[in-house]
A and B are shown apart, each in its own frame.
Chain A
């Protein structure tokens, strides 16, 4: 599903975000990216949805090298990738329903499909009955669930999560991880960057560890350290 081949990305001569990174992720895998701040986790995630481009190497997503992809095709690539962020990136003046529906509206889904699929995905993330609430009327965990619903509503092949539990207390974070695990079990590949040692050690999924842009460990059913 995802393949990186000798990918190097630097922001300046001193700051190298990724150095000669190579790995494969199979369809339906759950992968943790771990490492200290500035190790290149977020850059790697941004590269997978073509927000960043490397100086060298190739990035394959769903069988296509996305580095040479024409700009006009990038939106179609992104329709197959869901994104979850530490700060949720919800639209504050839109309701829960509207935030999730927004992801379908912008890719031109008809309204009858939106009316059918949004409640279903809100049910899946445990937010049934809260469709009309605004983000500021929700807890942090609920806001992250809205973000996950928005990322998953178009049934993407891949879900990229950048520190999704970073702003949440441990109990709420566990709930979010259970939800991501459920989504992963539907066949969606999940790549998640995290600092949360406890979560990584509990889940026992594949772990790719980065240090100053270099992959120093790639371990199946791994732990944080």
Chain B
């Protein structure tokens, strides 16, 4: 067993050395395509942050002043309950809930977020309209809510979501398409690198087959090589993603306040999940691509 492992590792690294130029090309292509996939996932998540407070079909939010009393909150709640023909359901987001939400919405403005605490955060009533209720009708209703004591303001999803959603779908789709093409190019390049490596060693493979080596014994060093192409590519892409995310997050802090970019950052550790996804895609693409390439030369 030990001798097989030693043999596999030796063959893998020998092949790396022999095909250095092609190997580097395959790794770079894999890295660029995986970085594309990573940036797409990251930007989607950043857009989701922008829309964090409107998750779950919320169309209207009644923001309450920080010092609103229990009676004033009850009054708003009663008013919302009375509109059951237009409002399907509503929920109250208290101080802690609003602070958690601020963590995402103000991720790019940590200075502003630091100023907020349980004593000065606006709490919120989030309303989901009944099916068929026109937002314009809700807008008309809002006039009544704005007049209630301790109501700070009433906001509508339509005013904020429309542009963000358009941007999200525009960039998301096109970036994903581009990443898909790049990923395909990376798989083909890894496939071609392995094919070239195998072609250069076809004599050796013929001898191996004739002395009784199994197909898997021959295939595994090549698959390991492809797997390493994918993993190294993913490593380079992860580094690029980390640098990009750090630069962007730092840069956003210098943007003018209320520029709209405050939430368009990822600071909740999601970038680590994206990196793991990139490693998984890289490893799979590399191993499968090289496995297919190797199989074509094993018919001796």
Contact = CB atoms under 8 A, between A and B. Distances in A.
A78 B3 contact: no
Contact of B210 (A49, A91, A114): A49
Interface stretch (A5-13, A102-110, A118-126, A176-184): A102-110
Contacts of A107: 211-213
Interface of A: 49, 51, 71-72, 75-79, 83, 89, 91, 102-103, 105-111, 114, 150, 154
Given A51-B300, A108-B3, A109-B3, A89 B212 contact: no
B212 A79 contact: yes
Contacts of B7: 105-106
A103 B211 contact: yes
Nearest to B6: A111
A83 B206 CA distance: 11
Contacts of A108: 1, 3-4, 217
- Interface size of B as a range: 20 to 34
B208 interface: yes
Interface in B30-73: none
B207 interface: yes
B3 A150 contact: no
7 contacts: A83-B211, A91-B204, A103-B207, A106-B218, A107-B213, A108-B217, A111-B2
Contacts of B215: 71, 75
Contacts of A71: 215
A65 B203 CA distance: 28
Interface of B: 1-4, 6-7, 203-204, 206-215, 217-218, 300
Given A78-B211, A111-B2, A154-B212, 20 more contacts: A51-B210, A51-B300, A72-B214, A75-B212, A78-B209, A78-B212, A89-B206, A91-B204, A91-B207, A102-B211, A103-B207, A105-B7, A106-B208, A106-B211, A106-B212, A106-B217, A107-B211, A108-B3, A108-B217, A110-B3
B210 A78 contact: yes
Contacts of A111: 2-3, 6
9 interchain residue pairs of minimum CB distance = A79-B212, A106-B213, A78-B212, A103-B211, A75-B212, A75-B214, A83-B210, A111-B3, A106-B208
B287 to A, nearest CB: 21
Contacts of A79: 211-212
Given A89-B207, A91-B207, A106-B208, A75 B213 contact: yes
Given A89-B206, A106-B217, A154 B3 contact: no
Contacts of B2: 110-111
Contacts of A72: 214
Contacts of A109: 3
Contacts of B1: 108
Given A105-B7, A111-B3, A154 B211 contact: yes
A15 B160 CA distance: 78
Contacts of A105: 3, 7
Nearest to B213: A106
Nearest to A108: B4
A114 B214 CA distance: 19
